[in-house]
Amino acid sequence: MSQPISFTKTKDIPDALGRAGIIHTQHGDIETPAFVTVGTKATVKSLTPEQVKDLGAQVVLANTYHLYLEPGDEIVKEAGGLHAFMNWKGPTITDSGGFQVFSLGEALGKGVSKVATGEAVTDAGDVARTDEFTNKRAKIDEEGVTFVSHKDGKKHRMTPEDSMRIQHNIGADIMFAFDECTSPHAKKEYQKEAMERTHRWAERCIAYHKESGQDKTQGLFAVVQGGRFEELRKESAKVLSEMDFAGFGVGGSFVKEDMDTAVGWVNEILPADKPRHLLGIGEPLDILKGVEQGCDTFDCVAATRMARNGGVYIDGGKINLLNAQFKKDFTPIMDTCDCYTCAHYTRAYIAHLFRAKEMLAATLASIHNLRFIIRFTDEIRESIKEGTFTEHKKEILQKYGLL
RNA sequence: GCGUCAGUCGCAUAGUGGCAAUUGCACGAGACUGUAAAUCUCGCGGCCUUUUGGCCUACGGGGGUUCGAGUCCCUCCUGGCGCA
């Protein structure tokens, strides 16, 4: 099948899985490795699309579950699709709602997140699943997932076919198969069960997608699962590779060190001529590792969420502008940054905006953080193209005090 | 001048016999990775301490009743209101 999404590799990282390339979409090319800006509800929080574009963002990712609940995918369709609705002319992606199976289900109220900290549970985690909703707002069965809306408590049913139908209505260039994102604390037995279900859902997604005819304009990516287990990760990559997807996402909730391991296991197997997205990652160093391990694109809410809470990236780390020490700091967030915020505003001013609860604080901080992470990723890409990735990596690790 | 109500940790509040004392804001710090997040967590009289621990100082000032007082009584100060 000829896909509406294609990938051209331009350069490899010697002796590694990573590469530079171009993803071709109906709304333009994405030069990879690339950071994908997250705009869950068809907006990158606190920024206009023009501002997002000026940051050098190449692509925006929105969310199926959220847009289905509000304003409703039919409305997005009636508006002319996501691009027209939100006034973003470049490439777009929609996540399938699979992550919400996790964040509203197993993870809810447990302090478990996309990248878990603390003890790395392998085969001994607790996965005491009940058939009751108790605190959870998502319940999984073979057919699909029942969500309890966080907005009004109503129950909503989402099957793989529903996710496809909704994503067709939204109309992003790239869409994801409906998957189950599992907890890194889940036992192998459960990871296997969930992974196999995700594979069955993947088949249903691709079948529905082809039958709808939307496969001519929208590219469908599968999501590799398997938790922290090499055997499962490899199996997932292999099984999904054999299906006719336009690209792949590496999914699941991680523990830090998995960035070095699980990602590589998967990318060794996934076809090199298709794009690979690392879902929900990451922080600067995670992207560095992800690229080396063979991923092309990365989406992450950290940059914008942190920004809204006063946390901003600086070379080799981050600072919290709400700390008392910045009240009279009349220097830019980062003097080597080329963003609009750093060109015109001081730490003291932005700290004042945060304390005064002025909306502009979120905007200025988001501009900086997004520009930081986009540029960070761009520079990795340029180093690959110039054949200096290894040196560049060394420089980054030195900045972060890791060398 | 008389009467009355009120003064609690920066501000605002809760507390009518066992209280280092509620809640909100402010302040200080932390977290945040396919966004239930402009959110959440912790701290917030002082000094010790390994602690679910100890000591000191505290509810306008002073005095009293009581085993024990922010809470009851007396008095003074300050402020609001009413009558002169």
Where is the binding site for substrate, in residues of A?
95-99, 179, 225, 252
Q: How far apart are the C-alpha atoms of A95 and A86, rounded to whole Å?
A: 16
* Average pLDDT of chain A to the nearest whole number: 93
User: Pick the catalytic residue: A73, A95, A162, A173?
Assistant: A95
Question: The complex's ipTM?
Answer: 0.89
- C1’ B37 / CA A314, Å: 22
DSSP reduced 3-state for A30: strand
Whether the per-residue pLDDT at A111 is higher than 90: the answer is no
Token pair listed for A398:
């030195």
- C1’ B72 / CA A273, Å: 86
Q: Give the number of other Cβ atoms within 10 Å of residue A65's Cβ.
A: 28
Q: Which of residues 364-393 of A touch strand B (CB under 7 A)?
A: none
The residue range of the domain holding A364 is 310-399
Lowest mean pLDDT among A68-82, A94-108, A267-281, A364-378: A94-108
CA of A223: nucleotide with nearest C1': B34
Q: Which amino acid is at A252?
A: G
Whether residues A259 and A326 fall in one domain? no
Q: Give the number of other Cβ atoms within 10 Å of residue A38's Cβ.
A: 22
Whether the per-residue pLDDT at A87 is higher than 90: the answer is yes
Whether residues A135 and A262 fall in one domain? yes
Q: Which nucleotides of B are covered by protein (CB under 7 A)?
A: 26-40
Query: What's the pLDDT band for A120 if we cut at 50, 70, 90?
Result: very low
Number of domains in chain A: 2
Whether residues A48 and A160 fall in one domain? yes
DSSP labels for A98-112? HHHHIIIIITTTTT-
Report residue A321 CA to chain centroid gap. 25
Q: How confident is the model over A67-84, as a mean pLDDT?
A: 97
Where is the binding site, in residues of A?
95-99, 179, 225, 252, 337, 339, 342, 368
Whether residues A161 and A183 fall in one domain? yes
User: Pick the catalytic residue: A73, A258, A286, A299?
Assistant: A299
pLDDT tens column, A334-363: 999 999 999 999 999 999 999 999 999 999
- C1’ B52 / CA A335, Å: 50
Q: How far apart are the C-alpha atoms of A155 and A252, rounded to whole Å?
A: 25
Nearest CA-CA partner of A378 in A314, A305, A297? A297
Query: What's the pLDDT band for A118 if we cut at 50, 70, 90?
Result: low
Do residues A366 and A307 make contact, with C-beta atoms less than 8 angstroms apart? Answer: yes
DSSP secondary structure code for residue A268 in this structure: H
Whether residues A139 and A167 fall in one domain? yes
Question: Which residue did the predictor score with more confidence, A126 or A23?
Answer: A23
Whether residues A155 and A261 fall in one domain? yes
Indicate yes or no: strand B within 7 A of the C-beta of A26. Answer: no
Decide: residue A118, CB within 10 A, 0-12 exposed, 13-18 middle, 19+ buried.
exposed
Per-residue model confidence (pLDDT) at position A45: 98
- C1’ B12 / CA A336, Å: 44
Q: Is A95 a catalytic residue?
A: yes
Q: End of a domain among A300, A318, A342?
A: A300
Phi, psi of A318 (to 5 degrees): -150, 160
Per-residue model confidence (pLDDT) at position A102: 92
Indicate yes or no: strand B within 7 A of the C-beta of A305. Answer: yes
pLDDT tens column, A133-165: 446 889 999 999 999 998 888 999 999 999 999
pLDDT tens column, A248-293: 999 998 888 888 899 999 999 999 999 999 999 999 999 999 999 9
Q: Is A299 a catalytic residue?
A: yes
**A327 falls within a domain:** yes
DSSP secondary structure code for residue A214 in this structure: G
Q: How far apart are the C-alpha atoms of A350 and A362, rounded to whole Å?
A: 9
